[in-house]
Amino acid sequence: MEKVSDAQVRQATVFNDQAIQLWQKGKKNEAIELWELAVEKAPKVSETLHNLGSAYLYLDRIEDALRCFQEATENDPELVEAYAKIGNIYQQKGDISTANEYWNRALQIDPSCQEAITNLEQFNTNRYDPENIPEYEIPDNNLSSSNKDSPIITSPNLTLGEKLVGGISTLLGRGKNTKR
């Protein structure tokens, strides 16, 4: 790759600033043309790549956005926002595992990255819905003889913690007596 001069970086920065103004005025296509020109002039300027990727993402040009964000993180491995957006793209694609990797990468760089925090919380809420934890049937051989006629312990009055402990114990093969 050809070396980029300081003059090219300055010109790309001017194009980036002009593109932001055009975008804010609703001139989306003109803004994208300027960002593309800025990236062409100085392909290693992460801010411009990030802005172009964000514009592509807004217009549902997902693959173009992903490419820009990935290039931005290659040029600036500390660009938190790009990692969070890559996570969002993988979530859209249905690849939650990869999305989690990128959101966690963003949090490694900046533990206060709200976009990553919100997405991880949303993912975990959907995955582990505390309102819909099933009742686990737990055989318990340690019950007193008066309860041995009823080998299954279930109760609608169990707390969330008791449900989780019972479920985990069952999964681990260690049925525990659950208090009611």
pLDDT tens, N- to C-terminus, the chain (180 residues): 457 788 888 999 999 999 999 999 999 999 999 999 999 999 999 999 999 999 999 999 999 999 999 999 999 999 999 999 999 999 999 999 999 999 999 999 999 999 999 999 887 766 554 555 445 444 445 444 444 443 444 555 555 555 555 555 455 555 444 444
The residue assigned the tokens 């050809």 is 2
The residue assigned the tokens 């980029």 is 4
User: What is the per-residue pLDDT for 125?
Assistant: 67
Angle (nearest 5°) at CA 160 between 158 and 164:
100
CA pair distance 111, 73, nearest whole angstrom = 17
User: What is the per-residue pLDDT for 124?
Assistant: 75
Phi/psi for 41 (5° steps) reads -70, -40
Amino acid at 146: S
Amino acid at 24: Q
Rounded to two decimals, the pTM is 0.67
